[in-house]
A = this chain, B = another copy of it.
Amino acid sequence: MLHGISRIIRGHRTTAGAHSDRRFSAAPCCANQEPRDYALPNPTWSPDTKRLYEGLSRDRSWRRLPSYNTTVHRDGISPEADRKTRFFTRNLDQDGVGIEYCMFYNEAEKRTICIFQPGPYTEGPPGHAHGGCIAAIIDEAAGTLIEYSSGPAWTANLNINYRNPIPLGSTVIIDSRVEKVDGRKIYISCRVRSHDDAVLYNEATALFITVKSEGLQAKL
């Protein structure tokens, strides 16, 4: 899967504040409205989720990453379809029921921390997050790391070990790191654990292949 596409469209990677580094720009119909940044606290966040968010927000080695619920609106590429679409991991209208999450990026360590709180609409086994929901947020966390650390890339492989089930409503940390760069291949590792480090839920690896703008356009 492709990550970092909006930066290809703009022709460069942006690194400044929330507005310029957001991945998804406003729809043409709402060009004068600022889209909502979903990676900010809302009343459905648990005390543990808020505590982790505030701790990372205070730490200057970590940069909070904004997050939107629509995919990029690109000139010339199906703008009508774009206006009707939603980003998969942000596709529910109600706060707190789905995949509630925010991410922070550490440039020096080539690492992201995703704070993840699975809501009641992410159920698989009763009372616990669906394995597919966990795979989805791992893919999004790893893809965001590759986007910020290396630029546009395709996910070639995602490999997830499930160690323990994740309770609905709990606060989870997804810690993703760049492990190795070998030409265009970039290897990522992810550890998914409880907010207090007491339980290891998942270990995962992902392989990404960086792409050039021309290659991307040919794919799409």
Binding site for B on A (CB under 8 A): 1-3, 5, 71-72, 74, 77-78, 81-82, 84-89, 91-92, 97-98, 120-140, 143, 154-162, 165, 168, 219-220
Contact = CB atoms under 8 A, between A and B. Distances in A.
Nearest to A89: B132
A156 B161 contact: yes
A29 to B, nearest CB: 16
Given A2-B125, A71-B126, A120 B86 contact: yes
Contact of A1 (B71, B92, B130): B130
Contacts of A131: 1, 139, 143, 155, 158
Given A85-B121, A127-B220, A135-B160, 10 more contacts: A72-B126, A78-B127, A81-B168, A91-B98, A131-B155, A133-B136, A135-B139, A156-B161, A157-B162, A165-B220
Copies of this chain: 2
A129 B72 CA distance: 14
Contacts of A157: 159-162
B160 A158 contact: yes
A105 B74 CA distance: 41
Nearest to A77: B126
Given A92-B92, A126-B71, A1 B134 contact: yes
A interface: dominant SS: mixed
A85 B123 contact: yes
Contacts of A74: 126
A56 B31 CA distance: 46
B158 A135 contact: yes
Nearest to A140: B132
A74 B125 CA distance: 11
Interface centre among A121, A131, A165, A219, by most B CB within 10 Å? A131
A78 B143 CA distance: 35
